[in-house]
């Protein structure tokens, strides 16, 4: 069973039990979230038809708020005395996918 959800202008492929990183959401750790699935497919007996994907919902729990790895931004102009180095760490929310319901 899997689903495709959209959050933070990105689409993610998720399965139950998986922990994924998404762009920062303004919620506390331990909060429950519900996403509308863009596409969902269940097991053979639960409805593997794409028709179920219109009403499918994905429930998730917020694990933690954290920052990602540092990204180095380096700018340089050739034959000039110009060099600039900056770093950036993006805020992320880690969510654990609990259930995909195909109602």
Which pLDDT tens digit goes with each residue over 58-97? Answer: 999 999 999 999 999 999 999 999 999 999 999 999 999 9
Stated pTM of the model: 0.80
The Cα–Cα gap between 93 and 23 comes to 6
* Residues of the domain holding 66: 2-101
* Domain tally, the chain: 1
Mean pLDDT of 33-37: 94
CB-based contact 40:54 (threshold 8 Å): no
């Amino acid at each position: 069973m899997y689903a495709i959800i959209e959050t933070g202008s990105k689409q993610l492929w998720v399965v139950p039990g998986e922990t994924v990183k998404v762009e920062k959401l303004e919620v506390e750790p331990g909060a429950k979230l519900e996403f509308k699935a863009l596409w969902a497919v269940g097991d053979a007996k639960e409805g593997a038809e794409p028709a179920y994907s219109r009403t499918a919902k994905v429930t998730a729990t917020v694990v933690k708020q954290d920052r990602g790895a540092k990204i180095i931004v380096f700018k340089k102009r050739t034959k000039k005395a110009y060099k600039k180095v900056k770093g950036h760490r993006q805020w992320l929310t880690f969510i654990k996918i609990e259930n995909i319901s195909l109602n």
